[in-house]
Amino acid sequence: MQTLPATYRKLVATRHGKDYHSITEVVEVPLEQPGPGKVLIKNAYAGVNASDINITSGAYGGLPPLPMDLGVEAVGTVVAIGDGVNGVSVGDAVMYLHRGAYGEYNTLGEKHLYRLPAVSPEALPLIASGVTAAVGLNKFGEMKSGDVVLVTGAAGGTGQFAVQLAKLAGNHVIAVVGSDDKEGVVRALGADRVINYRKEDLNTVLRAEYPKGIDLIYECIGGKTFDACVDNLAVLGRLLVVGYISEYQGQPEPVLQPRIYTKLLWKSASIRGFISSAYPDVQRAETLRLIELWHQGKLKSLVEDAEFRGPEGVGAALDHLYSGTSIGKVIVKMGDAK
């Protein structure tokens, strides 16, 4: 029987807002045995998301009382189980999508857990980033085979999966990135055309090389990138707004131009705001499917090399993500993860 500490550390928001460093604090709290139906997990790796700022600012609504536990996805090891738990055992490697991931330990209901062969940081991107891409493209974006699919932020945590899933479905994939290093990464993931927006103008390239437009766009950047995507939609084209990271940290940019329906109507095109949590009925099935594809070697899962440790390292990890230099999922090592 493993001896557990009396206390553990976790990151909490002490007030609401977007300035993550000033509104968060690492606190030490008692570590309690799990109650009936509950599982105590020692977190090994937690995933960092641009939307962490949206959570603390209340953009998604439904915030719990302060102080609010932070972090929504982690991989770890089961260290204790409550009465009535029979789907996992002490020592099992598990992954979950639930608040409280930015702590050294977390207590959850058994239903939130996915068993893994071993604790692996490469599993972590699948549960939120991968599922967002899968549900967005397949269910909300109505992706077919033979589409021209464009992915912005293509070397990021969720973009990497959008590129691969679109290619696995038999589509021509355009990947938009912002560095030479990222160009090579997305080519290795299967992208047919890579556009480095720091070297080529996105709108110019799309107009010249894809005069019929783009059938399906997976867009997470916003700003001028979004504008270029709208302008290059095909007839019946679908633009999925998966995020707009360029504006998360500040106020929305005022835009003075003709209303957007003047660009959509004549093409029967559509813009669709998408959050994966709006489809709770398919989350588990999609997660299990992605885990299986990963196990089979049909899906790569990239994590950022930069190292961040413990609840106190989350803020720096989030800054690194917003720097635009990360490749793959940005993660934080919790506890004694190697």
- Gap between the Cα atoms of 156 and 304, Å rounded: 9
Question: What pLDDT does residue 221 have?
Answer: 95
Phi/psi at 313 (5° precision): -90, -5
Instruction: Determine the residue type at 135.
Output: V
- Gap between the Cα atoms of 15 and 23, Å rounded: 5
In the numeric block, the tokens 């709290």 are attached to: 29
Question: What pLDDT does residue 192 have?
Answer: 98
pLDDT means per 10 residues in the chain (338 residues)?
88 95 97 96 96 89 88 97 96 96 97 95 95 94 96 96 98 97 96 97 98 98 96 98 88 85 96 88 93 95 95 97 94 80
Query: What would the 3-class secondary structure string for the chain be?
Result: CCCCCCEEEEEEECCCCCCHHHHEEEEEEECCCCCCCEEEEEEEEEECCCCHHHHHHCCCCCCCCCCEECCCEEEEEEEEECCCCCCCCCCCEEEEECCCCCECEEEEEHHHEEEECCCCHHHHHHHHHHHHHHHHHHHHCCCCCCCEEEECCCCECCHHHHHHHHHHCCCEEEEEECCHHHHHHHHHCCCCEEEECCCCCHHHHHHHHCCCCEEEEEECCCHHHHHHHHHCEEEEEEEEECCCHHHCCCCCCCCCCCCCHHHHHHHCCEEEECCHHHCHHHHHHHHHHHHHHHHCCCCCCCECCCCCECHHHHHHHHHHHHCCCCCEECEEECCCCC
Dihedral sign for Cα atoms in the order 161, 166, 168, 172 = negative
Dihedral sign for Cα atoms in the order 123, 127, 129, 134 = positive
**78, 41 Cβ separation under 8 angstroms:** yes
Question: What pLDDT does residue 337 have?
Answer: 56
Question: What pLDDT does residue 161 have?
Answer: 98
- Gap between the Cα atoms of 60 and 56, Å rounded: 9
Q: Please give the distance of CA 79 from its chain centroid, rounded to a whole number.
A: 27
Q: Which domains does the chain have, with CATH numbers?
A: 7-125+302-333 (3.90.180.10), 142-273 (3.40.50.720)
| Tokens linked to 60 | 């998604």
Question: What pLDDT does residue 255 have?
Answer: 84
Q: Please give the distance of CA 87 from its chain centroid, rounded to a whole number.
A: 27
Query: How far apart, in Å, are the Cα atoms of 226 and each of 90, 134, 162, 194?
Result: 47, 21, 17, 17
Question: What pLDDT does residue 73 have?
Answer: 96
| Tokens linked to 47 | 């995933």
Dihedral sign for Cα atoms in the order 290, 294, 300, 305 = positive
255 burial type by CB count under 10 A (0-12 exposed, 13-18 middle, 19+ buried): exposed
**214, 173 Cβ separation under 8 angstroms:** no
Q: Which residues contact 56 (CB under 8 A, 6 or more apart)?
A: 13, 16, 17, 18, 20, 23, 24, 68, 70
